[in-house]
Chains A and B, each alone.
Chain A
């Protein structure tokens, strides 16, 4: 094994050519939503810190987070949070060694997508 050719060997079709199944797309979406929530996390902490400084400074933060751009970021992050929440529960179930069957996995894909949208709408209605 020490000196095998590690260079010009044929490769299996890679990410650029392989059509990812929905389960794989949802897998990378878990990371994307996780990283994507950083911006909202910063904005929310800023919103709390602004309330310590003065009512005027808080009004600025409260206005920005509910302006059209703020609403876009916060609503997008809200869905990202609920998606990460639902898919995170699925990951914990997987960690427990359950629900690996293809039919269950594909059913759960749609349960997770549906629940994340439903929870987002529910939160927006309550707010």
Chain B
């Protein structure tokens, strides 16, 4: 603690400076997830557990494929932003936090691309 002023204690620690922007993007993705969840979940629930033919039949349909691609794109974007906030709130140890934030971004990015590529392959193959 010592004799430092409050200002000196926080000077240079900084923020990323884009918190409000992050907050706003999170809200935009949240609004987009309302129709996307309603459109994705029911066809998916009907298809799950009904075998290969049923799966290909559902997702070789352009409408279902489009919804699935948008659901993965916006969903993993929203998930990555949410997990980022959770990590920033609960992991004070800086090296661990940076490692988790990096992993979070890469992991969700990879999952989103994998999901989108899979749906696109099923659609184009049919």
Among the interface residues A45, A49, A59, which one has the most CB atoms of the partner chain B within 10 A? A45
Residues of A in contact (CB 8 Å), total 37
- Given the known A-B contacts A52-B122, A92-B27, A126-B46, are A42 and B111 also in contact in the complex, defined by CB atoms under 8 Å? yes
Chain B residues near A65 (CB, 8 Å)?
48-49
Chain B residues near A78 (CB, 8 Å)?
41, 45
Chain A residues near B51 (CB, 8 Å)?
59, 62
Interface residues on B, range: 35 or more
* Contact of A62 with B34 in the complex, beta carbons under 8 Å: no
Q: Which A residue sits closest to B68, measured CB to CB? A: A48
- Given the known A-B contacts A126-B45, A127-B48, are A2 and B122 also in contact in the complex, defined by CB atoms under 8 Å? no
B93 adjacent to chain A (CB < 8 Å): no
What's the dominant secondary structure at chain B's contact region? helix
Tell me how many residue pairs across A and B have CB atoms closer than 8 Å.
98
A14 adjacent to chain B (CB < 8 Å): no
Shortest distance in angstroms between A80's beta carbon and chain B's nearest beta carbon? 12
Within 8 A of A (CB), among B6-35: 6, 27, 30-31, 33-34
A selection of 7 A-B contacts at a CB cut-off of 8 Å is A34-B83, A34-B86, A45-B72, A48-B115, A52-B117, A88-B34, A123-B42
**What is A's interface to B at a CB cutoff of 8 Å?**
1-3, 6, 31, 34-35, 37-38, 41-42, 44-45, 47-49, 51-52, 55, 58-59, 62, 65-66, 74, 78, 81, 85, 88-89, 91-92, 95, 123-124, 126-127
